[in-house]
Structure 1
Amino acid sequence: MDHEMKLAVLIDAENISNKYIDVILSEANNLGDVIYKRIYGNWTTPQMASWRSTILDNAIQPVQQYSNTTRKNSSDSALIIDTMDLLYQSHLDGFCIVSSDSDFTRLASRLRESQKYVLGMGESKTPRSFISACNKFLYLDVLLEEAEENESEEAKPVSTPDTAVAAQPYVLAHEKTPGKDFLTIKQALIKLTEENSDDNGWIFSGTLGNLLSKQFSDFDVRNFGYKKFVPFIESLKLFDVNTITDDKNKTVKHNYFRLKSQTSYRPARSSHPYHKNYR
């Protein structure tokens, strides 16, 4: 997309804690320009009081929705109706739906049918159906823990770099959802490389990352304790790595991966779109 993605952030306050607000807005702002920020709940109930200062501090528009009957979450319906209104009345490129509730599965699917990008955010307890319906899904509890660990480490000297061995125990302690299961991701990377590499076994890192994200909407290297895709792949010890420096911009590097079982052959520059004109 040539222009900055225009987004709406829609938060189910009755299902999400206010402690995640910094993570939510940070991830949304990284994705594009947040045009709408709305939050849904019954603000007359005591349990919603914790959200009030957060809403003011972050200029989020609260939407009041009374519960018409007991044990029914009418805020879900309000969020869905507002989302469909925004779909037809605005020129948004994407929607960020923040909830751990499977009730938004059909909504996410409908948005994608209209060729809108859907970023889902919720806790690790989020049902698989909603996760799979999104283009991308982020685990708020994982991201918050990472943010808190980074804050606590700021005053400490740097020790050793991230390693897959250090990251695995944390991941394996959680529910085995595919995007957080170390073995599942490793197997998928091998299969995707075998099926999509060039005749010499090489695949561009960006291509491999995109294919993996399409297969597992909840895959994120931060699930495994990493900040970037390439160091995570290198840590697996499954691939040979070839890094090509851009001819026109020496600060830009393009990384290619090849399974170690393949014969050694360096990829041609023309195998990457950025290099096809650099002859």
Structure 2
Amino acid sequence: NVELIEIPQRSDSVRKNAADIQMAVDAMELALTRDFVSTFVIVSGDSDFTPLVSKLRELNKRVIGVGLKGSTSAMLPPACDEFIFYDRLDGAPKRAPKAGSGGASKAKKKSSGDRGGGETREKKSSQKQDLEAVKRLVTKTLAGMQSSTSGAVQASNLKRALLRKDPTFSETDYGFRGFREFISHLADEGLVTLTEGSAPGDPEVDFPTKGKDESQAFQLLREVVKDLMVELGGDPPLSGLKDQLRKRQPDFSEKEFGYAGFLQFCKAAVTKNYVEMDWEEPDEEYYLYVEDDTTPTD
């Protein structure tokens, strides 16, 4: 149901923010007097609502924002639990292009026709780059969740974590109908694995198991550490070591072998005698080294 709220206004005065103030007052009244109301939807792109959103979230309320992509303030989406751009929704009306003068309009049509193929290719290239960026966001978020919890990561919890990092995230922007379809696509590409969880339709998400080339990655680590020991005249620290590996193998990623982080990868290399690693309390840093008399075991 929709309730119309009357806002009295005198004919000889203009109250620009009267509706905004009324919305804020009503929202706070509901939040404080109606405990069962857990979610608020604010249809606006105005940054003036940012303090209201922050206050509602302080009161443990979930806030969903809805606005137009082109007119929404950059301050509002990050403040919300989730932000939906209205013009991206299925069935949203498309804006008609502005009609110009006859000659100019024809010239534009011709020009756009000539550029049509190029624009399509540019759009596809942009979408591909965006998808690669969101893949990195997913792996980074999943790795962070695995390092902070001992249990399995449910797909629903992963999406909530993604929305906390980017409230405007929506799998539909990349051509997927739902998050399950999106995460299944990542599983098909070998980026993650899915197993049925305790809740139907909410699978557990994990990184793929260790690959057959893991020993080559460990050997690369061993060689880099040995070379750095000579170059530095001492044991190299863990920080910055991953960058050294990528100088030799730019596409290196411990996640390809099922490790949530580089430290976990190095600890696995230690267990197989590829390297040794010690924690130095004064520096609060791990240092790696190779003993010549040790032989790696696979």
Normalised-by-shorter TM-score class: 0.5 to 0.7
Counterpart residue number, 1:53:
none
2:191, 2:207 within 8 Å by CA — same for their partners in 1?
A: yes
Whose strand proportion is higher, 1 or 2? 1
1:82 is matched with which residue? 26
Matched with 1:14 is none
The 1:227/1:190 distance shift into structure 2, 3 A limit, reads: same
DSSP-derived class of the 2:5 partner: strand
Q: Distance in 1 between matches of 2:3 and 2:153?
A: 43
SS at structure 2 position matched to 1:66: coil
Change in 2 beyond 3 A, CA 1:70/1:147: closer
Q: Structure 1 185/241 Cα, relative in aligned 2: closer, same or farther at 3 Å?
A: same
Q: What is the SS of the residue equivalent to 1:84?
A: helix
- Give the number of the structure whose alpha-carbon radius of gyration is greater: 2
Corresponding position of 2:191? 239
Identify the match of residue 206 of structure 2 among 257, 260, 266.
257
Structure 1 position 107 matched with structure 2 position 52: yes
Q: How many residues get paired?
A: 180
1:84–1:141 Cα change, 3 Å: same
1:13 match: none
Per-residue deviation, 1:112: 0.6
Deviations 1:180-220 (A, max 9, x none): 954442221121222223799x7432332221111111112
> Conserved in 2, the CA contact under 8 Å of 1:233 and 1:239?
no
Deviation at 1:238, TM superposition (A): 5.0
Tell me, yes or no, if the aligned pair for 1:111 and 1:117 is still in contact at 8 Å: yes
Secondary structure at the counterpart of residue 32 of structure 2? helix
In 2, the alpha carbon distance for the partners of 1:238 and 1:83 equals 45
What per-residue deviation string (whole Å, max 9, x for no partner) do you get for residues 57-114 of structure 1? x643233353885583321112112222222222221211111111101100011111
Q: Secondary structure at the match of 1:206?
A: helix
Residue in structure 2 matching 1:169, options 115, 123, 129? 123
Contact 1:97 1:119 in 2 (8 A): yes
Alignment partner for residue 130 of structure 1, among 76, 87, 90? 76
Residues 238/147 of structure 1: CA separation in 2 closer, same or farther (3 Å cut): farther
Identical columns (%)? 25
Given that 2:7 and 2:18 are in contact with CA atoms closer than 8 Å, whether structure 1 keeps it comes out as no
Greater mean deviation of Cα atoms: 227-236 or 105-114: 227-236
Gaps of at least 5 residues in structure 1 are: 1-57, 149-165, 174-179, 265-279
DSSP-derived class of the 1:61 partner: coil
Q: CA deviation at 1:242?
A: 3.1
RCO greater where, 1 or 2, for CA within 8 Å and sep 6 or more?
A: 1
Deviation at 1:146, TM superposition (A): 6.5
Gapped regions of structure 2 (runs ≥ 5): 95-119, 209-254, 260-298
